[in-house]
């Protein structure tokens, strides 16, 4: 990679109900992400954290009607979209550190401005394809992909004043093992390319990633990787808010990211849902940093 890696922190906890994920960008930094990337030989610019609304604990902990923390997420998404777009305009590789997965509304809105047919690799235990009327929780971190595809609350759909940002046929879901009924229906209706954990077991992570690259490279002009640490089994990454047993292993994930590095097709990346308040010794942030090392080309020899 000949681009500077620009780290942009998005310390938002508004997409879900557990405090602590807003600390994710800083604990990932503390675990050594900048030093790890520099050791590979790449240039790094840490642009710090975007400004997000201050947490009102009384409101945050209340039973809100409709979409939880909607105004805060709209503000955060617009701010992040601008920051990511500016990064790409400066010919940098944006590496966005969350925060919960609702931050992808902002990050991908900023990326998609620069591509005609942006591809998305959604490396996650969940589809995050809910719409408000079908969401069991009202938590927006379960909705970003559907919002980006142009469905959902109009104010979220029109972040950065355009919609849609992505096409369903340009999405690949990897690691799925917890989907709501509406998400399953939408995936089938739109024929979204999906690798559940059953497919990962059946084909192996090598074939899954190689097939994903082949599928997206033929139809897209850029590919964004959105990596939720809950894609890994909670034994590997305990410090995340929506843990689901039976996930990808640490080694599978390293190999997946090595393959993505070798493909030279990824143009931007999110790393989300690290929550140090429910972690052990910052292990999840450390694992995340190691995975990023593999993605940027770190090798043993």
Catalytic-role residue among 6, 100, 151, 228: 228
pLDDT given at position 80: 98
**Is 126 considered catalytic here?**
yes
Residue 301 lies in a domain: no
Mean pLDDT of all residues in 55-81: 92
Residue 300 lies in a domain: no
The verdict on whether residue 101 carries a ligand-binding annotation is: yes
Number of folded domains that form the chain: 1
The verdict on whether residue 279 carries a ligand-binding annotation is: no
Identify the weakest region by mean pLDDT among 2-6, 74-78, 256-260: 2-6
Catalytic-role residue among 6, 72, 100, 128: 128
pLDDT given at position 99: 95
The verdict on whether residue 233 carries a ligand-binding annotation is: no
Query: 63 to each of 58, 67, 69, how far by Cα in Å?
Result: 10, 10, 11
The verdict on whether residue 261 carries a ligand-binding annotation is: no
Looking up residue 109, the CATH number of its domain turns out to be 3.40.800.10
Catalytic-role residue among 92, 141, 224, 261: 141
Residue 274 lies in a domain: yes
Is the CB of residue 165 less than 8 Å from the CB of residue 144?
A: no
Residue 152 lies in a domain: yes
Helix, strand, or coil here: 41? coil
Q: Which residues pair with 9 in a beta bridge?
A: 49, 97
The CA distance from 278 to 262, in Å, is 34
**Is 141 considered catalytic here?**
yes
Answer yes or no: pTM beyond 0.95.
Answer: yes
Residue 259 lies in a domain: yes
Provide the residue range defining the domain that includes 181.
5-295
The verdict on whether residue 211 carries a ligand-binding annotation is: no
Residue 228 lies in a domain: yes
Identify the weakest region by mean pLDDT among 57-61, 113-117, 243-247: 57-61
Which tens digit of pLDDT belongs to each residue from 138-193? 899 999 999 999 999 999 999 999 999 999 999 999 999 999 999 999 999 999 99
Which tens digit of pLDDT belongs to each residue from 213-245? 999 999 999 999 999 999 999 999 999 999 999
Catalytic-role residue among 92, 126, 224, 261: 126
pLDDT given at position 61: 87
Residue 116 lies in a domain: yes
pLDDT given at position 135: 86
Catalytic-role residue among 6, 72, 100, 124: 124
Residue 1 has pLDDT above 80, yes or no: no
**What is the strand order of the sheet 222-228 is part of?**
44-49, 5-10, 93-98, 266-272, 222-228, 118-123, 171-176, 193-196
The verdict on whether residue 126 carries a ligand-binding annotation is: yes
Which tens digit of pLDDT belongs to each residue from 189-212? 999 999 999 999 999 999 999 999
Residue 280 lies in a domain: yes
**Is 82 considered catalytic here?**
no
Provide the mean pLDDT of the chain: 96
Residue 301 has pLDDT above 90, yes or no: no
**Is 280 considered catalytic here?**
no
Those residues with Cβ within 8 angstroms of residue 218's Cβ, 6 or more apart along the chain or in another chain: none
């Amino acid at each position: 990679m000949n681009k500077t890696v620009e780290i942009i922190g998005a310390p938002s906890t508004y997409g879900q109900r557990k405090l602590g994920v807003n600390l994710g960008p800083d604990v990932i930094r503390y675990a050594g992400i900048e030093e790890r990337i520099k050791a590979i030989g790449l240039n790094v610019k840490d642009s710090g954290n975007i400004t997000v609304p201050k947490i009102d604990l009384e409101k945050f902990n209340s039973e809100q009607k409709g979409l939880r923390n909607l105004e805060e997420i709209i503000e955060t998404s617009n701010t992040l979209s601008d920051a990511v777009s500016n990064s790409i305009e400066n010919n940098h590789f944006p590496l966005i550190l969350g925060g919960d997965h609702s931050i992808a509304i902002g990050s991908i809105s900023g990326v998609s401005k620069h591509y005609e047919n942006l591809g998305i690799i959604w490396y996650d235990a969940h589809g995050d394809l809910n719409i408000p009327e079908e969401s069991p929780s009202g938590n927006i971190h379960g909705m970003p992909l559907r919002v980006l595809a142009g469905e959902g609350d109009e104010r979220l759909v029109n972040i950065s004043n355009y919609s849609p940002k992505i096409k369903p046929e340009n999405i690949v879901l990897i690691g799925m093992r917890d989907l709501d009924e509406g998400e399953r229906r939408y995936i089938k209706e739109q024929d979204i390319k999906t690798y559940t954990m059953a497919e990962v077991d059946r084909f192996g992570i090598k074939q899954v990633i190689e097939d994903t690259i082949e599928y997206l490279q033929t139809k897209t002009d850029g590919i964004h990787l959105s990596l939720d640490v809950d894609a890994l089994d909670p034994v590997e990454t305990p410090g995340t808010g929506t843990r689901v047993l039976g996930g990808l292993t640490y080694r599978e994930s390293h190999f997946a990211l090595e393959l993505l590095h070798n493909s030279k097709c990824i143009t931007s990346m999110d790393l989300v849902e690290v929550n140090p308040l429910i972690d052990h010794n910052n292990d999840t942030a450390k694992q995340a940093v190691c995975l990023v090392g593999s993605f940027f080309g770190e090798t043993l020899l």
